[in-house]
Amino acid sequence: MEKTDDTNLKTNEVETPKKVENKNNGPLISFFVFELLAITAFTLSSSVLLYGVLSLLSLIFVVFFGIKDLKVRQMSDFFIFLIPITIFALLTSISKFSQTNVAQLLNIFSFVAVLAFAFIGYFSKRVKEFKISTALMVIYGALAALVFISLILTMIHYIPFYPFIYGGKIFYYNGDPYPAYADAKMLIGFTFGDVSLEYFSLFSTLLFTSVIALRFLSPKNNKQEFILYSIYAGLGFISLLFTVNIMSLITNLFVVLFLLFLTFYPKKGKPITVLRIIFYVLLGVILVLFILFFLNAQSEWASVASLQNLLSSNHLTNKFFNGNHISLAIKQLLDGSLSSSWFNYQGSGYSLFVRQMFSNSLIFDSIITSGLLGIIALLTFLVLVYISLKKYYQTTVDSNVAKHSVVAFVGTFFLYSFLALDSSPETHILYIQPVTSNAMFLIVMYLIGYSYTNRKDVKQNEKEVVVHEQ
C-alpha cells in the first residue's frame, strides 16, 4: 500500500502503522507475488493446474514468511466478503459444463486459484515493501508482451482491420468453415493457437485500461513510468484498432468516458457524482433489459405473449431480443433453465455443440455452469466488490495511478465479461473454459483482494492521510 501523491513519489517511504515490519522477507515476498502476477497475466495456456498450484504455494509463502502477526479474527470481514465467490467458484469448478483442458477432477484447482489470488492480494497489501504500482506495472507488462506477440501473429495470418474488411466471409481450416472476421491467433502456453476474436480482445481491452494512468503521470516528473504506460496503452489501442471488435469498442468507450470525466471534472467529488449517476442509470437499463429478456424467453407463459409479440413486431427490437447470436443464446438459456426448481440448465450435457449453448455473457453463462445458487452468489459478490472498490477509491492512500488503474482494470473486466467473455476460446479445439480458470479473472481477484476495504480500513486510511498530510 502506498502513500504517494502522483507528483511526489518520495512519499512512498513514509511508514504506515498497519504495515508489518519484515526487513528480511518483504522484498522476496514482493518478488514472488510479482512473478506470480507476471506468469498469470502472460496466461501460460490458462492452465488451471498451474494457477492452482502456483497460487497456493505463493499464498503459503506469503502467509508464513511475509505476515508476522497474522490475526485470523481481524480477517473475519474478508472471509465473509469472500463467501459468495467461494460458492460461485466451487459450483463452477465442479460443474459438468466446465470442461477445461484438464481432467474434470482437477478443475477444483480453479476454485483453489480464485481464493488463493484473493488472499494473496489481501496479504500482499500488508507487506511493507510491496508496492501496488510495481505490481500493476508487472501485470500490464506481461499483458503487453502477450498482446504484442499475439498481435504480430494475428497480423501475419490476417491483415489489419480484417474483421471489418472480411465481414461475412469464411475460410476453411481443417475442412471446416470458420468466419474470417471472428478468429484471431494467440500465444497459448508455448504454442500458437486459434482463438475467437472476442477472447483475443479481452486482453487488448484490459491492456488499454492503462491509458487511465497517463492522466496522472507527468512526462517530465515520471518520465519512465509515463513512457511505459504509453507503450502499454498504445499497444492496447493498436491491437484494438487492427482487430476491430464491437464489444471491445463498447467496453473501451466506458474507459475513455471515465478518462474524460477525470480530465474535465478534476475536482474531488464531481467525477464520483457524475459516475454514480451514470452507474445507476446503466444499472436501471440493465435491470429492465434483463426483465424483458426473461419474459421474452418464456415459451410456456401465455400471459406474456402480447409483450413477446410487441418485441418481435418491430425490426430493431426483434433483432435485439430475438435475432442475433447473443440474444438467441440468452433466450435459449433462460427458457431452458427455468423448468427446474434449481434453475439449472436442462441441456443435454457436454456435447460437440455445447459451444452454441453459451451466450458469451458471464451472467447468463453462469446459469449453465453454476445454476441459481451460483448466479445469486456471483451477483452478491459483484455488489460487495462494488462497495469495497468504492470505499477503496474514496479512501485509499495509494497513488492516483494505482487506484484508478485498479478500479479501471476490475471494472473493465466485468463489463467486458457481461458482453463477450468467450467460454470456449480456442476455435479449433473444443473445451469450455469457465471464468474461474480465466487468467484475467484471477488477476482481477488479486486486485479485488488487494483493494478490499471495509469500515475499519476506511478509518485506518483516514488516519494515514492525516499522518501523511502532517
Partner 1 sequence: MNNKIITRIGLLLLVGTLSSCGYSLRETYDGDAYNSPVFGENYYRHYDASIDPNNANNSIDSTREVNLTTSEQRVAIKYEEASLFDNAIPEDPNDEGKTIGGVKKLRYLEMGAKDDPSQIGTVYGPTKKMASNDEMFSYGYVSKLFDGQMFCNGYYQLSRVQIDEGGFGVVFEKEVSSQAGAYFALNFKAAGNYINEPTKVVAAHKSAIVLHIGFYLRNGKGFDKVNVSYQIDEVPTNGSEGRKGYIFFAFKLDTINIMRCAGISVSYDLLNDAEYTGNPEIEHSLMLYEMLLPKTIWR
Residue 151 CB, shortest distance to partner 1, in Å, is: 8
| Contacting partner 1 within 237-256 (CB under 8 A) | 238, 242
CA distance 418 to 202: 12
- Does 156 contact partner 1 by CB under 8 A? yes
Task: Give how many residues touch partner 1 by CB under 8 A.
Answer: 33
Q: End-to-end distance of the chain based on CA atoms, in angstroms?
A: 19
159 near partner 1, rule: CB under 8 A: yes
Q: Cα separation of 401 and 216, whole Å?
A: 6
Q: Which stretch binds partner 1 (CB under 8 A): 85-93, 171-179, 288-296, 385-393?
A: 171-179
> If binding is defined by CB under 8 A, does position 24 make contact with partner 1?
no
Which C-beta is closer to partner 1: that of 269 or that of 349? 349
* Distances in whole angstroms, Cα of residue 8 to Cα of each of 11, 131, 401: 6, 15, 12
Contact between 166 and partner 1 by CB under 8 A: the answer reads: yes
Among 71, 103, 174, 315, binds partner 1 (CB under 8 A): 174
Which of the stretches 13-21, 112-120, 167-175, 288-296 binds partner 1 when contact is defined by CB under 8 A?
A: 167-175
Shortest distance, CB of residue 173 to partner 1, whole angstroms?
A: 6
17 binds partner 1 (CB under 8 A): no
We find the least distance from the C-beta atom of residue 320 to partner 1, in angstroms, to be 23
430 counts as binding partner 1 under rule CB under 8 A: yes
Nearer to partner 1, 100 or 308 (CB): 100
Q: What is the dihedral of CA 16, 20, 23, 28, to 10 degrees?
A: -110
Q: Is 155 in the site for partner 1 (CB under 8 A)?
A: yes
Q: What are the distances in angstroms from CA 179 to CA 110, 203, 425?
A: 31, 21, 14
Strands 176-179 and 183-188: unpaired
Provide DSSP, 101-147. SS-GGGGHHHHHHHHHHHHHHHHHTTBTT--HHHHHHHHHHHHHHHH
| Calpha distance 466→397 (Å, rounded) | 10
Nearest approach, Cβ of residue 218 and partner 1 (Å):
16
Q: What is the DSSP letter of 345?
A: -
Q: Please give the residues from 202 up to 241 whose contact with partner 1 meets the rule CB under 8 A.
A: 224, 227-228, 231, 235, 238
Q: Is 295 exposed, middle or buried (0-12, 13-18, 19+ CB in 10 A)?
A: middle
CB of 159 to partner 1, least distance (A): 5
Other beta carbons within 10 angstroms of residue 108's beta carbon come to 15
Interface residue with partner 1 among 2, 129, 183, 422 (CB under 8 A) is: 183
Cα–Cα nearest to 377, from 90, 104, 114: 90
Residues that bind partner 1 (CB under 8 A): 148, 151-152, 155-160, 162, 166, 168-177, 180, 183, 224, 227-228, 231, 235, 238, 242, 352, 429-430
